[in-house]
Amino acid sequence: MADMHKAIEQALAMKNVAIVGLSSKPDRASNHVGAYLAAHGYNIIPVNPAEDEVLGLKAYPSVTDIPAEMPVEVVDIFRKGEDTPPIVEQAIARGAKAVWLQLGITSEASRRLAEEAGLLYVEDHCMRIEYGKRHSEQ
């Protein structure tokens, strides 16, 4: 668990976050997290093939569709665990430094892929909650 805490700290320090599954629906957790992170200085890149724009930002169909000139450090994933390995492969191909599976999402295959590629890996944690804990918010 110490490694997970270290990965969380390092990933939270990175400010360019592609959020896979970011929804424009205000009642969705991904929307709350994206808006919160954007309000706290993160550069958010929406990734959702069903959306054109989320939180006033252009959405991309996949991580690999994000233009090369846009830095991607963390790929934050709001998808079922079994759907995450191809997204982790995209994160690796894109040169991301960290993969973050949101609260309630785990994947042994994704963990293996990320770690073998040298990426930080966080699962079953929420970026918003973890940021808030470290900045005396909840």
- If you write DSSP's letter for every residue of 14-39 in order, what string do you get? --EEEEET--S-TTSHHHHHHHHHHH
Residue among 108, 96, 88, 90 at smallest CA distance from 15: 96
63 CB contacts (<8 Å, ≥6 apart)? 18, 20, 47, 72, 75, 87, 90, 91, 93, 94, 96
Q: What is the pTM of this model?
A: 0.96
Q: Spell out the domains of the chain, with CATH numbers in brackets.
A: 2-117 (3.40.50.720)
pLDDT one-digit tens code per residue, 9-50:
999 999 999 999 999 999 999 999 999 999 999 999 999 999
Confidence at residue 138, expressed as pLDDT on a 0 to 100 scale: 53
